[in-house]
Amino acid sequence: MSDLTPELRVEIEEILQKSQKRHGYVYRELAEGLGPDEMAKRHDKTAAHMKRFVTSLKHILDGTMPTTSTVLTNSYGYRELLNYDTTRDLHEYIASWLTRLKEKKSEVSFEPLDGDALVSPVASRKRADVVEVVCPQCFMVHPGECY
């Protein structure tokens, strides 16, 4: 496995700067000076949950192996990077880390990470209003056509 070079770290940071997944949010919010408690409030998560991602991010940026309890979380960070065009060197680096992480935890996947990981801090937390339409035939609220 190759070591984390300054060039690879810069490429990782460039991806995290634009990523809309959890490690990307954590990276940018650490740069803003936020800690796990503030991040937790912003994203409606627990501080312990956010701390796992902060720790994982530090391992990724330092090129170090996480403890067994955070291996899966750490793999999410590497898989998050796979959603972007990377250099061949970074892709090989990510694959080597995922291989090492899979040796510690068999659930580790090599697939790019799907879906949004956190609610955007600017997104509204208000639930959508439910619009109930009264049926003109039976004067009840129900889905589809009248029974």
Q: Domain coordinates of the chain in residue numbers?
A: 6-104
* pTM of the entire predicted model: 0.76
- Count H helices and E strands in the chain, helices first: 6, 0
Instruction: Report residues of the chain scoring pLDDT below 50.
Output: 1, 119-127
> How many C-beta atoms surround the C-beta of residue 4 within 10 A?
16
Look at residue 120 in the predicted model and tell me its pLDDT: 47
